[in-house]
Amino acid sequence: MGSGVLIVALPRRRRLVARIPRGRGRQSTTALGHSQEVGRSDPAQATFYDRWFDSAWGHYAFEVERAALERAVGPLEGCRVLEVGCGTGRFTAAVEQHAGSVIGVDLDPAMLAIAARRVRAPLLVADAQHLPFDDATFDVTMAVTLCEFVTDPHLVVGELGRVTRPGGRIAIGALNARSAWGMARRRRLRRPPWQAAHFVTRQELVSFGRPLGRVTLHAALFAPGDLPGLDKVGPLLEGRERACPRFGAFQVLVVDKTGS
Ligand SMILES: C[S@@+](CC[C@H](N)C(=O)[O-])C[C@H]1O[C@@H](n2cnc3c(N)ncnc32)[C@H](O)[C@@H]1O
């Protein structure tokens, strides 16, 4: 772990502690359409982001993505898990129910302040491109819709690989602009907050993981958006993974890390 320790919030009964390695804590990046630095974050924007999950489409998409991630990662019982770019902790909370232990990392203290109300996991403010952990610290590392918002996704996946033990697993969830969802939103994806995102292609995702071990790419979220009768149509569409994985809006790269 890095040596600098900064307490950024005191949620009910628990401390939210940010550990920032000296000289690295103020790296800037772009997320959710705005430039971020540690200490410069927007609670209103974090709340807006988090509330999206309570919309009908947000709720549906989250459940499909959570299930896809769980299937792709496999059993987490007893595992030490790191979630990077954990945001408001929606996925962290799901992982926490099964894993041995979880740590959440994000660059934005406002996102983590919301996560702190949702999870028991320790939450750290740190840059995914320079993680403050020793090599091979975790059994499983994961990141969901983070690669789209960092300057160098290759570096981020490399960092996840570094802190994952050999034989462990790295899972990267990423949105696919070339999916049915992406096509239906072509215009909207050019406006804030999406215009700041760099959507990685399926080929790019695979190329990030390959240097670290054996890669598998999964796909989910085949509905193009909030259709009438989504609760009935959605599960039928979710059967499309085998037939046309490239049209899934949520891609999950899993890397089984090799090496000793
Ligand atoms: C689209 S949100 C995803 C949040 C969460 N994983 C989810 O799916 O709800 C992207 C998150 O990545 C974080 N982020 C962006 N750049 C980062 C970086 N360099 N290091 C750590 N977190 C970063 C943002 O603060 C934001 O919380």
- Axis-axis angle for helices 153-163, 202-209 (nearest 10): 40
Please write the tens of the pLDDT for every residue from 211-251.
999 999 999 999 888 888 888 878 888 877 777 888 899 99
pLDDT the model gives residue 227: 81
Number of C-alpha atoms within 13 angstroms, CB side, residue 83? 28
Residue nearest to atom 11 of ligand 1 (CA): 85
Helical residues (DSSP H) of 138-253, grouped into ranges? 153-163, 180-184, 202-209, 230-237
| Residues facing 125 on adjacent strands | 106
Task: List the one residue out of 205, 207, 211 whose CA is nearest residue 162.
Answer: 211
Question: Could you read off the pLDDT of 140-159 as tens digits, one per residue?
Answer: 999 999 999 999 999 999 99
Number of domains in the chain: 1
Query: pTM of this prediction?
Result: 0.85
CA of 106 to the centre of ligand 1 (A): 6
Q: Is 85 in the pocket of ligand 1 (CB under 6 A)?
A: yes
What band does 40 get if pLDDT is binned at 50, 70 and 90?
low
209 lines ligand 1 (CB under 6 A): no
CATH of the domain at 9: 3.40.50.150
The dihedral through the CA atoms of 50, 205, 93, 1 has a sign that is negative
Cβ–ligand 1 distance for 8 under 6 Å, the answer no
Query: What's the confidence (pLDDT) of residue 191?
Result: 79
State which residues form the domain around 128: 5-257
99 ligand 1 Cβ < 6 A? no
Across the chain, what does the average pLDDT equal? 84
